[in-house]
Amino acid sequence: MFRIGCHISSSGGYLAMGRRIDALGGNTFAFFTRNPRGGAAKDVDPADVAAFLDFCREKDIDRLVAHAPYTLNPCAEKENVRQFALTAFADDLKRMEYTPGQYYNFHPGSHVGQGMEIGIAKIAQVLDQVLFPEMTTTVLLETMSGKGSEVGGRFEQLRAIIDRTALNEKLGVCLDTCHVWDAGYDVVGDLDGVLTEFDRVVGLDRLKAVHLNNTKNDLGAAKDRHEKLPDGKLPLDAIRRIVTHPALEKLPFILETPNDEAGYAAEIALVRSLHG
Ligand code: FE
Ligand code: FE
Ligand code: ZN
C-alpha cells in the first residue's frame, strides 16, 4: 500500500484529522501533538480516539507520524528549556499510547554552542528518561539540515544518539528530503548512494517515515527552507525516484510543503501520479 499524506491541523481532535486527510486524498498524516510553540496539550478524548480509529480502519488510513513541538530541545543549555523537553516528551508519549503502534517524530535538538558531543549525550539522556519498556510507539529522530548548531545533520550523529540510548529498540529515523539535501546528501544525483550510506551508518531497518519536501536551497546550504514540490531545487523526476525507490516505497510519505489545504490535495494527487 502506497502511503501519502500531509501535515494536518490537530485543533479539531482526532476524528476531524482523519476526515480531513481522507478529504485531501491522503492515507497517512502528521500533526502537532501540542501547540508547536510549546505549552500544555489538550486532554485526549477517548470517545474521539475510538471514533477516529474506526474511521481509519474503514478508510485504510495508517501511520500517524506525530510531530513534537519545534521548541522541544532536549540538548538545550538552559535548564528550563530542557525541563520543558522532558515534560512535554514524556506527556506526549503517554498520550500517544491512545493510538497504539504509531510514530512520534522529533528534532534531535540544537546544542547551541556546547558542542556536538555534549548535544548528543544530552539527547540520549532525555531519551533514557522518557522511553519506557511497555510503550508501543516508535520515536523517530528526524534527519536535520545542520543549520546553526543542529544535531542530526549527519547520519553519524543519529547513529551516536541511538547507540547511547538504552532502550533504543524504540527508536527509528524519519528522513526529511529537504533537510538531507540541505545537509549535503545528494538525493537528486545519487539517491542510491545516499541510501547505501544511510544503511551503512544507521541501518535501513531504522528508517520508518519520509518527510517529502522540496527545498529552496542548493545542495549543502545547511539552511532548511521547504518549498512546494513542483517549485524547488529537487526536480519532479527526482521526487518520482524517491517515492518509487524499493527502500522507501513502503514507508509513509508526509508533505510539509508550504501549502494550504487545496495545495496539499493537489500535491497528494501529484505524488500519486508520480508513483504510478
Ligand atoms: Fe520536522
Ligand atoms: Fe520535516
Ligand atoms: Zn524543515
Q: For the segment 101-131, what is each residue's pLDDT rounded down to a tens digit?
A: 999 999 999 999 999 999 999 999 999 999 9
47 CA distance to ligand 2 centroid (A)? 30
Share of the chain above pLDDT 90, in %: 96
**pLDDT over threshold 90, residue 147:** yes
**pLDDT over threshold 80, residue 35:** no
> Rounded to an integer, what distance in angstroms lies between the CA atom of residue 92 and that of residue 74?
14
In terms of Cα–Cα distance, which of 95, 87, 85 is closest to 64? Answer: 95
What pLDDT, on the 0 to 100 scale, is given for residue 42? 82
115 CA distance to ligand 1 centroid (A)? 22
Ligand nearest to the CA of 145: 3
**pLDDT over threshold 90, residue 173:** yes
Ligand nearest to the CA of 176: 2
First to last CA, the chain: 12
222 CA distance to ligand 2 centroid (A)? 14
**Mean pLDDT over residues 18-23, rounded?**
98
> Rounded to an integer, what distance in angstroms lies between the CA atom of residue 242 and that of residue 247?
9
The cell numbers describing 94, all together, are 503517554
> Rounded to an integer, what distance in angstroms lies between the CA atom of residue 109 and that of residue 104?
15
67 CA distance to ligand 1 centroid (A)? 7
Ligand nearest to the CA of 177: 2
227 CA distance to ligand 1 centroid (A)? 14
Ligand nearest to the CA of 211: 2
What pLDDT, on the 0 to 100 scale, is given for residue 34? 87
200 CA distance to ligand 1 centroid (A)? 23
DSSP state of 33: S
The cell numbers describing 204, all together, are 535501513
**pLDDT over threshold 90, residue 37:** no
Write the CA distances from 204 to 44, 145, 241, integer angstroms: 33, 19, 17
CB 14 within 8 A of CB 48: yes
Per-chain residues with Cβ under 5 A from ion ligand 3 = 224
Q: Which residues contact 158 (CB under 8 A, 6 or more apart)?
A: 108, 141, 143, 152, 173, 201, 202
H-type alpha helices, 97-175? 116-130, 155-164
CB 146 within 8 A of CB 181: no
Ligand nearest to the CA of 70: 1
255 CA distance to ligand 1 centroid (A)? 11
Residue-wise pLDDT for 38-53, tens only, equals 667 888 999 999 999 9
In terms of Cα–Cα distance, which of 201, 206, 187 is closest to 140? Answer: 206
CB 232 within 8 A of CB 175: no
In terms of Cα–Cα distance, which of 219, 236, 217 is closest to 227? Answer: 217
What pLDDT, on the 0 to 100 scale, is given for residue 115? 98
Per-chain residues with Cβ under 5 A from ion ligand 1 = 142
Which residue segments constitute the domains of the chain, with CATH numbers given?
A: 3-275 (3.20.20.150)
